[in-house]
Structure formats: C-alpha cells, structure tokens
Chains A and B, each alone.
Chain A
Amino acid sequence: MIIDARGVHYRELNERIREAVVGGARELKLTNVVGQRYIGDGLRGDVRIEIDGVAGNDLGAFMDGPTIVVNGNAQDHVANTMNDGKIVVRGDAGDVLGYGMRGGKLFIKGDVGYRIGIHMKSYLSKVPVLVIGGCARDFFGEYMAGGIIVLLGLNSNGRGLVGNYLGTGMHGGTIYLRSCPESYQLGKEVAALDLDDSDCEILSNLVEEFARDLDMDASEILNANFTKIAPVSTRPYGKLYAY
C-alpha cells in the first residue's frame, strides 16, 4: 500500500498508517514525506514501512517490532526508547538517536550528530544495537547502560570519527569504533580496549547484517583496526538508595 504524504499533517499520516496496519497491511510505502513526526511510533507487528523523503523527528519512537527503511535522511530522535524491530536509514540522521533504546536495531548509513545512543540499556535477551556507517559528534554513548553501538566512520577521510565526551557516565554496554580515539576524547568512566574473540564475532555479525541491508561490502569494512570502549565501573550508584 502506498500513502502519499505530501501536504498531510503528521497526525493524519500516522492515523492512516495505523488504520492500514489494523486492516492487515504488511508492506507500506510512504512517498513525499517532508518532516512528518512520529512515524511508526509505538507500532507493533510484522510490518515493513518504506519512506521516501525526509523522515521527521521521533521516527520509530517506542516502536515494538516493525521494520522501517528510510530512502533519504532522517532527522532527530530516531528510535527513541524503541523496544523491538529495525530502522534502516540510507542517508544521514540527526542528534539524539537511539535515546534510551531497549531493544531492536538502528542502522544509519551516513553521518550522525550529537548525543547518539545515550541512555541505551539492556536486560537479558533485550540488547539494542546501533550501527553507524559515517561519523558522529560529541557525547556519543553518554550514560549508556547497555546494548551495543558500532561506529564505522567509513567516510572519515582522516578526520576524527567521533567527538569528545565519548562514553561519559557510561556504566554498561559496549561501543566498537573503527579507529582508536585520543585519550582526551574519552569520558572518565570508560577505557579503550582491544577486542577479544567474542567481540570480533559480535562485531562481524553486526557489520555483515549492516552491509547486507545497505548494499555494502562487509569484508572491506571489517578489514581495519577496531577499538572497544567499555565502562571501567559497573552501576556506580546501584546502592545509592539501597542503604
């Protein structure tokens, strides 16, 4: 089913998406999207939504299962508190992606902005994943509590892959960088480490899936030195209110 979003307010657009899903649609294509917010928010089920245009803020917030593919750029707050499903952006995306994400996958082919993957969390089998093909700015993985972020910087051409305050306040989860950051870029709560065998397996599986979804060459991407960023403390305030 195709929905032409030109001139359609975000509320009406999202109502039409919900009606279509309730009516049994499994493949939706949205054309002429120009910044409409909240697409796919809280949506459940086995649905695939393809978006032509610029997806608006809070794309896939609280989403619980569907797949969204954006054939352009996305804006801010993609996958905010997402629970399950997958979002693939073929272009760039903005700031605060994957905020508080608790499950599912977010793949961005291009560059991203500030505060990516902050407050991501995980529990048992719920492990959110964020893979970024381009570069990122400051506060990457800030306050991260769980999950996995991979930053590839494939277009970095010698400039920095990531900004400062990397993993500031991070106390859980793992970040893999396709480079080695300067020590001043790291938050006080994290360390830059070598990958072990299990890291390499996790990383290559994720990069292969990322490359498959975005028509890229995984072996070329993996043929580089990666660094693992991990917290050097665990739950530092876990007992703050317990005693």
Chain B
Amino acid sequence: MEGRWNRRYDWQYDRIPSGCGLAAIISEAGRSFGGEEIIQSICVLHDRSNGLGGGFAGYGIYPEKRDLFAFHVMFESIEAKELVDAYFDRNFYVEESGHIPTRKIKEITNAPLLWRYFVKPLDDSLQDCELCEEDFVTRSVFHINGEIPGAYVFSSGKNMGAFKAVGYPEDVGRFYRLDEYEGYSWIGHGRFPTNTPGWWGGAHPFTLLDWSLVHNGEISSYGINKRYLEMFGYRCELQTDTEVAAYLFDLLLRRHGLSIEVACKALASPFWSDIDRMPEEERELFKAIRMVYGPALLNGPFAIVLGFTGGLIGINDRVKLRPLVAARKDDRLYLASEEAAIREISPDLDVVWAPKAGEPVIGRVRTGEPEVVGAEETVA
C-alpha cells in the first residue's frame, strides 16, 4: 500500500527551485475515492515546495457524523487541551473525541498533540448569544485560536476535514493516513513559505467551517483585507496572508449570500478600463461590486483553490501571475499548478485548459447527495 504513493524519488538534492504547488480533484457525480490520488498528484509538484508545510482537505470523509462539526485541533501542551476540553464542555455537545489517527514516519517530526472532536453547539449556548450554528462555530474557532495559548483549530466543518503539518505534502498525507479516508473532493498543497514562518498552523489549507483554501502566491493587500474582515468579527491570528482569502470567501458567500461568480469578481475584479468597455448593465454591476467590496479585492499574485461542501473553485489573480491548469475526465474536475500533476493520476484527459486570469473554474457535485450548504441557494 505505502509503496504506491510513497516518495517517488530519492530526494537527495538541496536546491529548491520555486514557489508553492497545489492540486485538487472533485467527482461531480459525488463518487467517493481514497486520499491516495491527491497525494500522488501533489507529489509530482514536490519541487515546488521545500518541506516547510504540506496539507490536504477531504470532503465527504465523515459520513456517519455528517451532522456534527468535526474540529481538528493541534495542542502544544496538555494544559492547552484541558482548556479547550473545558470550553467544548461548556458550549458544545461532544459526541466523540480522540486522537487524529497518524502513522509514525521519520519525515514528520515534532508533531503537536492532534485531536479531533465531533461536536454540536448546545441549544442554550446558541440561544444565549442569538447566533446561528455557523456563526457560533466561527466565533468558537476565533476564541480558541486567539485566547487559548498553544491551541489551534485547523478544521471545523461538517463531513470534511483538513490535515496539515510541517513537511512535504506526500509525507504529510502518509502521516495522516489519508489512504484510510474516502471523499468525493480533495485538495492538496505543498508550501514554500516566503514571508511568514513555516509552522504547523501555517501550512495550507486554511479553513473555517467547511471552507478550505490553498494558495500559491502572495496577497499584498493583506493589511486592508485584514482590517475589513475585523469589522465583521474575523480575527487573523495565523501569521500568514492566505487566511484572509479563506475568511473573505466565508464573508461573501455564506454571510452576504453572493453567488460564487460575483464573489470571485469582488476578490479578483476586472480593471476599470475593462469595466468601462462592458455593456451598461454589466458595467453597473461591476462598478457596484468594486465600490462595495473594494476592501475585499485581493491584490498581488495568486492561484487559489477553495473547497466547500459539494464543490471546488479554482481562481487566479487578474493578470495570472501564478500558474493554474484545469482538466476534466468523465465525472472528474482536476486543478493543479502544473499539468503534470493531473496527468500523473489521469493520463488520458477529456480536456485540459489554462483558466483565464480572474475567471473561476467551478466544480460542483451535480446529483443527489452530498447536500450543498451555504453557497448553493445563492448561485446566480
């Protein structure tokens, strides 16, 4: 089993050629498949990362606990865990908690305590603060990450989970035993940290509720995005630019109810010169988006993949300063930084293309289960 997606090469070289790599797969028929494929795909992009961060998210992986929020939490100490346990006991019904299953491998070291809780907010807690479940969970995530030293929530959605660590992605996937999970959608990331530390919490994906986001690039508008998000109660605690993108999608899609297409045009707006040439109705829409959501504009180079219940989005910055390739085969949509990462797992593709700058590629589960929450009802 291990041999199939174990290290393909003997990585004896010390030169590190370039930036991050990302990959994603979704079955639009909602068919589940094991975590090996995304590991095998991201493994091709090994040389885009440098061993300082790797991670994954899988959707549909906890079908028996689909109605509970699955919290993945890392602890630097037992004391931190005790504080979080007490917090959960006060605010949530905890159906089950325990170690996140891992495999001891020599490539992944200095692991924090990794714990998983399947929980549901207590009715009393929800009534006391007059929040919906999702807002209550969001507030809990920010509370733990900001107020409990040495504790960090890295996954908090339903029937999905994020898995991340310091290491190369293929090792991180093996460490977290992703071959033992099955899901209909997977995203993966190998990190090459540039501006912020390579720590366990700084690996991608960044998550909130069932949103998970991986990113290659730099968000140079981080300051204005962070201040904007803070007005809506988001707290940026993770020492990296990428988290603002995850929270912006939560704000625009879940809380403001924008369609995916409109949200993407807020984050990666066309230039004013392009807007000026649009037909009047479209021009007014885009002017409104830029005026209302100016502080949500993501500036700088990026390729981003966002995972959510029932779907995937891949999007580039407005002038395509980072690579992103998309492909389809049967019911599958694939995204990756390089075509090779897709060909590795699906050599005979139906179609492969390079998405245009600022234009999202959207993959959706189209039949029956799993049910799409949040974004579905708001699609234009």
A interface residues with partner B (beta carbon < 8 Å): 7-12, 34-35, 37, 53-54, 56-57, 73, 75-76, 92, 94-95, 111, 113-114, 137-139, 164, 184
Contact = CB atoms under 8 A, between A and B. Distances in A.
Interface string B24-47: 000000000000000000001101
26 contacts: A7-B9, A9-B8, A9-B9, A9-B10, A9-B11, A10-B47, A11-B13, A12-B9, A34-B44, A35-B44, A35-B339, A35-B340, A35-B343, A37-B17, A75-B340, A76-B338, A94-B323, A94-B339, A95-B320, A95-B323, A95-B354, A113-B354, A114-B319, A137-B356, A138-B320, A184-B273
Contacts of A8: 9
A57 B338 contact: yes
Nearest to A91: B352
A173 B76 CA distance: 60
B344 interface: yes
A95 B320 CA distance: 9
B21 to A, nearest CB: 10
- From DSSP, what is the main secondary structure of chain A's interface residues? loop
A37 B47 contact: yes
A35 B17 contact: no
A53 B343 contact: yes
Contacts of B340: 34-35, 54, 56, 75
B267 interface: no
B13 A113 contact: no
A139 B319 contact: yes
| Range, interface on chain B | 20 to 34
Contacts, number: 67
A177 B8 CA distance: 44
B252 interface: no
A34 to B, nearest CB: 5
A35 B320 contact: no
Contacts of A53: 343
A76 B323 contact: yes
Looking at B344, B354, B357, the one whose CB has the most chain A CB atoms below 10 A away is: B354
B341 interface: yes
Looking at A35, A75, A111, A184, the one whose CB has the most chain B CB atoms below 10 A away is: A35
The 3 A-B residue pairs with the shortest CB-CB distance in the complex, in nearest-first order: A35-B340, A9-B9, A114-B320
B277 interface: yes
A114 B322 CA distance: 10
Given A54-B339, A113-B320, A34 B344 contact: yes
Interface string B295-325: 0000000000000000000000001100101
A54 B45 CA distance: 13
Interface string B227-266: 0000000000000000000000000000000000000000
B277 A184 contact: yes
A137 B320 contact: yes
B338 A35 contact: yes
A73 B323 contact: no
Given A12-B9, A35-B338, A35-B343, 10 more contacts: A7-B9, A9-B13, A34-B344, A37-B47, A53-B343, A54-B343, A75-B340, A95-B323, A114-B357, A164-B274
